[in-house]
Structures are given as C-alpha cells and as structure tokens.
Structure 1
Amino acid sequence: MADEKLYIGEQQDKFNQTSSEYLHVNSCGIQRTMGAPYRVIRKNGRVDYHILYLVTGECRACYGEKIYVLSPGGFVFYEPGHKQDYQFGKGIDTTSFWVHFHGTGAPSAVADCGISPGPHLRAKNSSAEHFFQLMVKTFYPGGEIFKTRLNGLLLMLLSELGETKKQAAVLDKIAEAVSFIHLNYYLPIDINMLAKMSNLSRSRFLHVFKEQMGTSPLQYQQRFKMEKAKELLSVGSLSVSQVSAMVGFDDPFYFSRAFKNCVGMPPSAFRKKHGEK
C-alpha cells in the first residue's frame, strides 16, 4: 500500500534490551491509528517479550506463516527472537496497547500464567485494559517506587491474560473457526462446518464460541461485516450497493437497515461524515 507507514524494528526500536532484574518493563504505551495504514516488521524479533493488545479496530498479524485477524480483546504474545509482522488497515480507527518486558523471572511468570506464544482470539477484557492503562500512567514518572508498582501491574496483567491449560485447549479449538470468519466474512456462515473444523459438536461449538467471544458466530460475523463496510465507505468511491455486495449482502436495502441498526446511521450518512474529503 503506497501510503502505508512502515516501522522497521531493527532500525527504529528503542529500549530493546535484556535485564538481570527479576522483571523489567522496557516500554509500554497506547497507540491510535486514526484510520491511517500502519505496519510493523521485526524480522529478527526483539530481545525482550512483547504483548500487543487490541482495544478497538482490527489488526492482521502474521505468525508462523499464517495470517490472524485480531478483533477487540485479541492479543499477540511474542517471545524473544520471534519474527514480528503485523499491520493496521486503512480506514479502520484502531487503538492498541503494547508492552515490552524482560527479566530473569519473566519466563516463569509467563509460564505460570499460562500464556502461550502467538495470537490469542478473545472477547474484550476490561480488567486487562485497566491494567494496561495503569501501566502506561505508572511508566513515565520513573523511580524505584514506580518500578515496583509497574512490575506488580505487569504480573496482574499477565494473570488476567493467562489461561489454564484446559482453557487454552478450548480456545485453540475455535481459533481456526474465528480466523475463517475473518477471512471469509462475506460468505454465508455454516455452523456445522465451523463446528467440524473445531472438532466440536454443533451445540458445544456454539456454547464455547459465545463463552469466549461474547456473542454467537452469526452475530460476530455480522459485526465484522459492518466494520468492513465502514472501512470501504470511508476510503473509496464505491456505491452503497457495491459495498453491500462486497460484504456479502444480496439486498442493499437490507444492508442499509442492518448498517443503521449496528452503527446508528445509514451508510450514506456515515460516508458523508467519515469519507475521504
């Protein structure tokens, strides 16, 4: 993408260091793209641990040769030395938290909390976001007292993002189904196929999906379609009928009603307010 901002970690990273302390937060913060396309590449990863958590919008993360589409509540956990490649799309106002940390106790803290490397597809976690906010506020004053408090908040964050082995196994089962919805959002959804993909019965799949993602697969797909429609309406000259077809609606009038119910205004009004000038 021609106007995409590219961040090359090997050239631009600061505070990328190991620590002999038990825990040490190298940096943390919050980022909002305001709809501008942005991509981060670290071919050799970092020497510390990295957590990227999505608050709003969408993030496409490449991990292990697969592309995962994160929605709010999802996060990626990178271990030291692992390649990082993720991007935020044009027209999608995305907000994310991030933290880089290291220390002799970091490996055991991560393991004890049950956080495995890679993408984690979750529903929004208000407690995790609260700890991120407190960490960002605590990081900048500096000093030993603040450092101790920061390490405590980091442990609270890890425990909030962590999961038992049983929970991890359940989440792994539906991760492929969630990614399938993200990549094929414009197609009719087949619950039986998604359940089979997850090695679960239909009823168990529906229960687990709603428990972990906060909504049913059909409602989740509908919300995702609307986010895509907002993106298309914001950045292009496509007609409402064209956008409707691109996100999987045969009837543009039904699309307009669904869009208004979800967003609070019809597609034409959204374009007038948020479209490129």
Structure 2
Amino acid sequence: MDESRIPESPIRIREGFRGQVQHVLPRPLLDRVAGHPLLQSLLPTDIGWYPTAQYHYRERPEGAGEHILIYCVAGAGWAKLRDEFFTVHSGEALVIPANTPHCYGASNDDPWSIHWVHFLGGTGEYLAHVVTPTSYKLSVDAQCGATVEALFRACYALFPGGFILSRLIYCAQVLHHLLGELFFNNSAFSPAMRTSRFHSIESTLTFLRQNLHRSLSLREMAGHAGLSESHFSRIFKEQTGHSPLDYFILLKMQHASTLLSVTSLSIKEVAAAVGYSDPYYFSRLFKKTFGVSPRAYRNSPKG
C-alpha cells in the first residue's frame, strides 16, 4: 500500500457490515451519568465490531470528542492522523486521541476486521497520550490479543437489553481491564516505545528474580541487558517507575515476606535467602518496605 496518500476507493461506507455489532450510547444518558464516581475516570460512549469491513471509511476533519481505540484482528487498513499516514495490520491497535483530525479505512484488497470503542475520562486521557504522533499504533501479542477480544465481546453482550446504569458501569470496569491488558500486560508494547531508546527489560526482570539470593550491582544488571549503566537505568525506570537497585530490593523484600509467612526459617536464614549476611540490615530494609519488622510481619494475621 502506498503510504504517501489516502487509498482511493469506488465506495466509502461508515457502517452497515454483515455481522457487525454497534452500540452508540444516547448522549443525554451520557450527560446524566458522566458525574458518577465509577464513570468519571473512564466512560465508554460507543463500541462495536466490524467484520471484513469492505469499503469502510471514516473521516473527521476536526477529530472526535472522544478518544478512539481500534483493534485490527484480521485483514488490514490504513489511517491518517494529522499529517501522519500509516497502515494498520492484523495484530495491531490504533489509538486516536480526542480532537485529533483523522481519517481511516479498510484496505481495498484485504479489508480489516476491527473491534473499536470510543471513551472519555481521566484514565482514557492518560492512556490515549501514552502513544505519540509518531506512534499512534501499537503491536499486540497473541495472548494479550485473545484477552482483549474476549473483553470486547463481554462488553457487546451487555447492551442488547438496554442501556442500564449497572451495565454501563460494568462495561467501564471491563474496559479498564481491556486497556490495562493492552498497555501494561502486552509484551509487544511498552510505554518506553515512546522513545527511540526502547529496549525490553523482561529478560532483566527474570534475571533479577532468579538471583534474589545474590547482591547484584548496577554494573552486573546493565551488563546482562547489554546496555551502559546510565542507559539501562533510564530505560528501567521508564518501564517500572523504580531504579534498578530499588526494584531489586523490593523483589527481595517481597520474597522475604513469603518466606516469613510460609516457612519456619529464622530471621537470619530469611535474610541469607535474599542475599543479606547481616540480619539487622535486612530487618531495617524490611521495615522500610513493609512498615513493620520481619518478626511483627510473621506474627501479624493475614488473609
């Protein structure tokens, strides 16, 4: 497909595809429920499924009032957002922030099958801007894709009986799950892809979990990732919110809490199991993490 201009088509269709699902919530209803505490952060406004959507085309020169997510599960399509043109293939999702001029449509040769949803709210505002004008689409791994499809279908099943508030709230909760899977449990995507420095840290996280009994240095962690210490630290914090050493301590303390709960190991033995020869230093770190000493944690009721 020529990526320099919008593909010409003899027919352009907004909707009406065989087997489609489409639910557009009445705007007066949305106005009434927008202030509900469970809908303020994420409010779905339109949702649907267009299978083999031949000649599908949509253009909004001023953008939409909501954020839009399109997930392509078969075939292909294209999109133009502002001045950026690109193709969208099976296993890719497209995120269009609110008020962004755009048009999109199905491939003439291999029309796409898409799940789609429009949404408002603070959570949506944040997630819609995780991607940038140079990265409006994201790849979706197979496991995540299967979960996202199932969650879309769960939403579709809610509305044939009417737009009842409880169903709308449930749909919003399912959509929270769906977006969480797509953005934060999807090995094919990371918020760090917003920069050219993207480098997956999954192998590093596995390396850390496998070496909780050791005292790893930042140099060893960066060396395992094949990066300089400064580059590694920057990427690691982007993807976890913690420095590598702080994250490693958190992993150690988490494992220590499990050992304290399910074994009869002494405090000294637990400390040694997570790489600390000094049980007093271990106890200080544990208390800083959990707010109580290892002994108090072991004796506290749980569950």
* Aligned residue runs from structure 1 range 154-169, under 5 A: 154-163=175-184, 167-169=190-192
Q: Structure 1: how far apart are the matches of 2:91 and 2:197?
A: 15
- Aligned 8 A contact 1:20 1:104 in 2: no
Q: Structure 1: how far apart are the matches of 2:26 and 2:117?
A: 11
Structure (1 or 2) with the greater helix fraction: 1
Q: Structure 1: how far apart are the matches of 2:82 and 2:159?
A: 32
Q: Structure 2: how far apart are the matches of 1:135 and 1:56?
A: 20
Letter paired with 2:151: F
Aligned to 2:77: 59
Unaligned runs of 5+ in 2: 1-7, 16-23, 199-225, 228-303
Aligned to 1:5: 12
* Aligned residue runs from structure 1 range 1-277, under 5 A: 1-7=8-14, 19-21=34-36, 22=40, 23-33=42-52, 36-103=54-121, 106-108=124-126, 110=127, 115-117=130-132, 118-124=136-142, 125-141=145-161, 142-163=163-184, 167-170=190-193, 173=196
- Aligned 8 A contact 2:91 2:140 in 1: yes
Q: Structure 2: how far apart are the matches of 1:4 and 1:115?
A: 34
The total of aligned residue pairs comes to 168
Q: Cα distance 1:156–1:73, how it changes in 2: closer, same or farther (>3 A)?
A: same
In the superposition, the TM-score normalised over structure 1's length comes to 0.52
Unaligned runs of 5+ in 1: 176-199, 202-277
Q: Structure 1: how far apart are the matches of 2:124 and 2:48?
A: 19
SS in 2 for 1:120: strand
Larger Cα Rg: Structure 1 or Structure 2?
Answer: 2
- Work out which structure has the larger RCO, using CA pairs closer than 8 Å and 6 or more positions apart in sequence: 1
Letter paired with 1:169: A
Q: Cα distance 1:129–1:2, how it changes in 2: closer, same or farther (>3 A)?
A: closer
SS in 2 for 1:155: helix
Q: Structure 1: how far apart are the matches of 2:25 and 2:171?
A: 19
Q: Structure 2: how far apart are the matches of 1:65 and 1:24?
A: 28
Q: Structure 2: how far apart are the matches of 1:122 and 1:171?
A: 16
